[in-house]
Structure 1
Amino acid sequence: MSRSAAGFFILALLSAILHFSLFQDSLITLPLIACGVFSTLFVLALIAGRKFKFDPVLR
């Protein structure tokens, strides 16, 4: 996992914890929206961080 992916994962967790600890009765809040954005960026960072190895010699 790259540094950016780990950072986005931590930010998503922190914003989810903030949402559940402060806003228990609200359905959609700013920390929950931030959690969704950071989760999406986390998945994109995981995809971008993958290194595909290509073997030009087919056996």
Structure 2
Amino acid sequence: MSKSAILLLLSTLACFAAALLAPPQATLLSNTLGGAGGVFTVLFLAALVVGRRIKFDPLLR
């Protein structure tokens, strides 16, 4: 896993953890953190796909 994928994974986990730990009165904050976590999740998956393409070896034996 690349460094950017690890960073995005940690960002995703931090956003979702903060969204769950936010007080019930802070609905806007919780929704914003959940949305940011979703964006980081998509970027994390994209980083994994890009990392696979770089390491792909099409050599057929």
Q: TM-score, normalised by structure 1?
A: 0.83
Who wins on radius of gyration, i.e. which is larger?
1
The range that moved more, 16-25 or 2-11, is 16-25
Q: Which runs of 4+ in 1 moved over 4 A?
A: 23-26
Corresponding residue of 1:15: 15
The range that moved more, 15-24 or 3-12, is 15-24
Corresponding residue of 1:46: 48
* Equivalent residues, number: 56
Residue type of the partner of 1:21? L
- Classify 1:40/1:15 alpha carbon distance in 2 versus 1 (closer, same or farther; 3 Å): same
For structure 2, the residue ranges without an aligned partner over 5 or more in a row are none
